[in-house]
Amino acid sequence: MDFRIVPGRLERIRLAFAFLFMAGGLGLCGLYGAAWLQLPHYNDEQIAAMAQVQAVNAMVRNPKLTPQDSAAAEKLLEQARAHVEKGLEKRRKNLMAGLVAGFLLLIAGFWQWHRSRS
């Protein structure tokens, strides 16, 4: 096999990498974009209900967390709500990071394509 760089081979390799980058970027954008569009939007009542379920699950798993008074119950609900909101925000950030990675790959592919043509 001949591994020498011939005049047209480097341009073909750059063009192949450009299309691979663009295909990967488009795929990531499509995957994370579809997940972003399907991401539900929760209102305060739904988040409060999820926090209550989270608090009850925590008390079932660990009976020591069962509050003795109303102040401890409110504190447990606040912690559960913070945990639910943190999980939702983490999900949004992960989807946004995937979208950004896809767009960066797409830009890198277009840049590589432009470089191979000039």
Per residue of the chain (118 residues), give pLDDT as tens.
566 767 777 788 889 999 999 999 999 999 999 999 999 999 999 999 999 999 988 888 888 878 888 888 899 899 999 999 999 999 999 999 999 999 999 999 999 999 887 7
pLDDT at 2: 63
- Cβ–Cβ < 8 Å for 115, 10: no
Tell me the pTM.
Answer: 0.76
Q: Of 31, 5, 17, 41, nearest to 116 (Cα)? A: 17
Q: Are 27 and 107 in contact (CB under 8 A)?
A: no
Q: Is the distance from CB of 32 to CB of 95 less than 8 angstroms?
A: yes
Residues 6+ positions from 110 with CB-CB distance below 8 Å: 18, 22
Per domain, the residue ranges of the chain are: 9-117
